[in-house]
Structure 1
């Protein structure tokens, strides 16, 4: 199934006078989300300069994604990538997000300002008029303000998480949390009318057993809140029908989702293994368990063994993504010979073309870490979820999937924090036979597709946004 977008009236133009600059946080989920936004804008004849770090640009190039930009259609050739230095040395650990973020915020604003000035001196008719930045990069909005450009932020998580962030001052005032984010009242909190309430365990900054990290996370999230407040517009990756009351959180919210790549390159850090598509072609309709845990989740060797043995015990064909570094402490992608053990009924790959996999008729359910990009992709393809949240916003998104939208089931860990093989089999059996969950998933898929039709809410919102930045 190909997700069909309908662009605004500006699509009929042979040439655009609109040029925006997109700045992405250098992480897989952020790069992919903003790259999809870049393609969506290009469909509407908006020229996009996509800024990322030199290090990330090299990773994309190594995965053979960057070269494909020259092979895209006319609209997508409006997208170009420009790498900028992150200020770190080659030997520095870029997995240390705090160190990387500090370095970027110190050196990149100067490079970004220089880039914009250079582009605008060279291009008379297509000057950059708007900077669109990841919500984590408030400094990019400051550069835009300094140069007199319009500015917008891209928010890449769930509506309820946005409400959680924006309500922090109210939570402190009400005595729900302390001024450094520590929970005072251990009870479910209403985030906004018609949005699922959140338990303290689902707070974005919650880091059990690590109070110093929790303090740092809380400070970081408060900075994000300030960045959002400084934005003229907040571009969101959901669609209006998913959370109709979300605009009450902030009047500047503009839902543009779902953002689907439709085969366009999205800046993958790993090469997609396309052999899984021909493997899926050989499986019965609705039979395959697709298991993928995003770009940062990790499992212990013990937990991975339970996952593999649980998939085997479930007795269904499965496709499992095991990216490099997914198993803590393992230097091999074939721990304990499990790949050979499951070869007769399952397939393991390092990275998959996820949208194509989820859209394949043989896929019956999606075992996921509940990252927001993955959740929106699963919703867009109408696939029921098996939820295995890892951290950050995943726990709250799991509650949305299972309790609010009723399109999935939660895999519950035992007293030792391990999700066992029998729990996996039990929930697979329950999900594949649950007609209510499947019907709900198909209803949400229909709403997601409707949002990007010509008269859909997301298409209208995109047209509105483009008019705003051209006036």
Structure 2
């Protein structure tokens, strides 16, 4: 019997590509073979230059790409768009992929299998939006699984989406029919119907969500990058849900990070110079764009705190008319374009994490044992905030004023409240201990992962 061979297919967003690549490394460490499929555009324009410096890929002209020191091979297919097309329109990218890839994927699978007939692809692993590959694999007799990049609870919202429409709680465009909070399933926190993960999306995108949830039923497993203890009620919803995370990295300064963006590691040395639990860490992930006035208000808030801060400001994070206000000094802080977040959140100098509440960031914060200041913007971030503030009780929410801004005064007040709350800090450490136990040698997530690998053989 050959070893398990996974064909991993992420939707081309950093929040999908990065965690699935991390999981690919986990699978490789468990003796599996991985073929990782990128779109040609992402690989050439975005990912290849970064892998050159970060993962040190070895390129062979006219052949596939292997990640050095691992059992991972990178292959590509076109997304159907031209190089000059705007790929910030995710719906356009998705529709183009769905038109282009299904006809090309069987030949790619055939070619990959021909290179190693003893270890043919035994399982197709996709992130959401790429469920068409599971249907295709099913027709070819290949097992399939979903790798969810959100919380299990957010995934559960998708499970109930058709019922929510049938019960008249939301309309066919995903909009709530009236203001209310509902409990999707016993034990889950009550969710404001205006804050479902699909809030703000177009009708066409919402229709895709409905179709995708049906397609994903082809998969036997829906792998969740979480532990059962963090959101236990979600795992009673479907036997498909399987917690196998979170993925931890061994921090070795001689080894590259799995991040796809160039990290500024000078901030780690800077953190070494700061007192224990003194630094306010601010990062809003890879997509959030701050409106000009809000960007300036945040900058002035960091000055007002009179505490050391580490602020991640991507080149595309603030609008073109946004800039640091003249009154901003920033003398107590350090600003970087991208940072090694897992290592930062495990640094003893970090006091709290100001975050957009993306699921990857939340997991990294929980594993670091740091309390949160929650600043959700869209999609599943509001549900994640609900868990942080109301269920786990390890954070506070930043609230907007009458001008729809989070003011510098609000930020200062909540930072002071958070850092003065010893019980919340101790709860954060408790959740950290529980999470790390689950990914330990005898932990439940580890056992689930081994079971999944054995299933894929």
TM-score bucket of the superposed structures, by smaller chain: over 0.9
Give the drift of 1:359. 0.8
| RMSD (Å), alpha carbons | 2.2
Q: Distance in 2 between matches of 1:232 and 1:380?
A: 28
Q: SS of the residue aligned with 1:406?
A: coil
In the other structure, the counterpart of 1:57 is: 43
Q: Distance in 1 between matches of 2:318 and 2:260?
A: 17
Kept after mapping to 2: 8 A contact 1:280/1:362: yes
User: Given the alignment of the two structures, is residue 128 of structure 1 paired with residue 121 of structure 2, yes or no?
Assistant: yes
Q: CA 1:16/1:438 → structure 2, altered by over 3 Å: closer, same or farther?
A: farther
2:324 alignment partner, one of 335, 351, 357: 335
1:235 alignment partner, one of 223, 233, 256: 223
Q: Distance in 1 between matches of 2:324 and 2:404?
A: 21
User: Given the alignment of the two structures, is residue 299 of structure 1 paired with residue 251 of structure 2, yes or no?
Assistant: no
In the TM superposition, 1:190-201 aligns within 5 A as 190-201=183-194
User: Given the alignment of the two structures, is residue 31 of structure 1 paired with residue 14 of structure 2, yes or no?
Assistant: no
Q: SS of the residue aligned with 2:191?
A: coil
Give the drift of 1:169. 2.4
Q: SS of the residue aligned with 2:70?
A: helix
2:81 alignment partner, one of 81, 88, 99: 88
In the other structure, the counterpart of 2:98 is: 105
In the other structure, the counterpart of 1:5 is: none
Kept after mapping to 2: 8 A contact 1:16/1:46: no
Q: Which moved more, 1:261-270 or 1:419-428?
A: 261-270
1:46 alignment partner, one of 5, 24, 32: 32
Give the drift of 1:145. 1.3
Q: Which sections of structure 1, spanning at least 5 residues, go unmatched?
A: 1-14, 208-212
Q: SS of the residue aligned with 1:165?
A: helix
Summarize deviations over 1:201-242 as a string: whole Å, max 9, x none.
2112222xxxxx442342122123113322211111111221
Q: Distance in 1 between matches of 2:407 and 2:454?
A: 52
In the TM superposition, 1:163-312 aligns within 5 A as 163-207=156-200, 213-263=201-251, 268-312=259-303
Q: CA 1:83/1:172 → structure 2, altered by over 3 Å: closer, same or farther?
A: same
Q: SS of the residue aligned with 1:260?
A: coil
Kept after mapping to 2: 8 A contact 1:60/1:267: no
Give the drift of 1:444. 1.0
Q: CA 1:466/1:415 → structure 2, altered by over 3 Å: closer, same or farther?
A: same
User: Given the alignment of the two structures, is residue 119 of structure 1 paired with residue 119 of structure 2, yes or no?
Assistant: no
Kept after mapping to 2: 8 A contact 1:49/1:82: yes
Q: Which moved more, 1:321-330 or 1:403-412?
A: 321-330
Q: Which has the higher contact order (CA 8 A, sep 6+)?
A: 1
Kept after mapping to 2: 8 A contact 1:318/1:346: yes
Q: CA 1:190/1:83 → structure 2, altered by over 3 Å: closer, same or farther?
A: same
Q: SS of the residue aligned with 1:299?
A: coil
In the other structure, the counterpart of 1:313 is: 304
Q: CA 1:288/1:70 → structure 2, altered by over 3 Å: closer, same or farther?
A: farther
1:438 alignment partner, one of 416, 419, 425: 425
Normalised to the residue count of structure 1, the TM-score between the two structures is: 0.90
Give the drift of 1:22. 0.4
Give the drift of 1:336. 4.1
Q: CA 1:142/1:66 → structure 2, altered by over 3 Å: closer, same or farther?
A: farther
Kept after mapping to 2: 8 A contact 1:50/1:81: yes
Q: Distance in 2 between matches of 1:153 and 1:396?
A: 21
Give the drift of 1:443. 1.1
Q: Distance in 1 between matches of 2:256 and 2:104?
A: 25
User: Given the alignment of the two structures, is residue 460 of structure 1 paired with residue 447 of structure 2, yes or no?
Assistant: yes
Give the drift of 1:127. 1.2
Q: CA 1:260/1:357 → structure 2, altered by over 3 Å: closer, same or farther?
A: same
Q: Distance in 2 between matches of 1:74 and 1:369?
A: 31
Normalised to the residue count of structure 2, the TM-score between the two structures is: 0.93
Q: Distance in 2 between matches of 1:65 and 1:219?
A: 39
Q: SS of the residue aligned with 1:241?
A: coil
Give the drift of 1:18. 1.6
In the other structure, the counterpart of 2:154 is: 161
Summarize deviations over 1:353-384 as a string: whole Å, max 9, x none.
11011111101100000000111111111111
In the other structure, the counterpart of 2:379 is: 392
Q: Which moved more, 1:124-133 or 1:367-376?
A: 124-133
Q: SS of the residue aligned with 1:224?
A: helix
Summarize deviations over 1:80-101 as a string: whole Å, max 9, x none.
2222211111110010111111
Q: Distance in 2 between matches of 1:377 and 1:225?
A: 27
Q: CA 1:70/1:255 → structure 2, altered by over 3 Å: closer, same or farther?
A: farther
Summarize deviations over 1:379-412 as a string: whole Å, max 9, x none.
1111110101011111111111101110101010
Q: CA 1:180/1:161 → structure 2, altered by over 3 Å: closer, same or farther?
A: same
In the other structure, the counterpart of 1:8 is: none
Summarize deviations over 1:272-324 as a string: whole Å, max 9, x none.
01111111110001111110001110101110111111111111100000001
Q: CA 1:238/1:102 → structure 2, altered by over 3 Å: closer, same or farther?
A: same
